[in-house]
Amino acid sequence: MMPIRNFVFYLGSITVMILCVMLTLVFCFAPFKVRYYITTFWSRFVIFWAKLTCGLSYKVEGHENLPKKSAIVISNHQSTWETLFMQVLLPVQTWVLKRELLFIPFFGWGLYLIQPIAIRRNKLNSVSKLIHEGTLRLKQGRFVVIFPEGTRVAANHLGRFSRSAAALAEASQFPVVPIAHNAGKFWPRGFFIKRPGTVIVRIGPMIDPKGKTATEINDLARNWIAAHLP
């Protein structure tokens, strides 16, 4: 039954994505919050739909560690699942992502209208752009979500962390919230089939950037995530 359930999952996900992007384009001149909630409805739908069709649920530990005010969220990256789940977990947010994603039909168009921080890989000005735009979004009251590994890593593994998220924390003096999860066990990179199970999401205590260098902030975040991978 898993292939059939996954087919139903993809059919529903793609249909709702197209509808959400079309609505976003229709309301492209509406206030940001209207565009944001229309576009991110798709992410919330996918998390719900994956549970209903594929049996993929989740459990959050440490929810009390989430601040009420904007912060920088640093998470490990194993799957597409966690990029969608952040819209369920957090209030209004901005994502740091590869500029190329904005050129994907429908999906990229919707992303563009909700003001992500789109950067080019290996460009000297990427960190400067991240710090400038990230600080602006934080001051606007948004969370900034960053996956410092830069690419999806297999479950039970942790890749090298870029210091860009920590550099933003050092420059902006906004706190960092580390998040660890095991989504790659059920929604692995490069696999069509989504497996049933429960994704464990662990939220760590805030890291105060005051008096710390970007290297120190980065090490604290990575060490916490490494120690708490489910």
**Where along the chain do its domains lie?**
56-227
- Here the tokens at position 218 are 């980065």
CA–CA gap between residue 29 and residue 111 (Å, rounded): 15
What whole-number percentage of the chain has pLDDT above 90? Answer: 70
Span of 26-30, 135-139, 162-166 with lowest mean pLDDT: 26-30
CATH of domain 56-227: 3.40.1130.10
137 pLDDT tier (thresholds 50, 70, 90) = very high
pLDDT over 70 (residue 122): no
CA–CA gap between residue 85 and residue 43 (Å, rounded): 7
- 63 phi and psi angles, rounded to 5 deg: -60, -30
Task: Provide the pLDDT for residue 181.
Answer: 98
Mean pLDDT, the chain, whole residue set: 92
198 pLDDT tier (thresholds 50, 70, 90) = very high
pLDDT over 70 (residue 71): yes
pLDDT over 70 (residue 139): yes
Question: pTM to 2 decimals?
Answer: 0.91
Region 51-60: mean pLDDT is 97
Say if CB 17 and CB 106 are below 8 A apart.
yes
pLDDT over 80 (residue 143): yes
pLDDT over 90 (residue 192): no
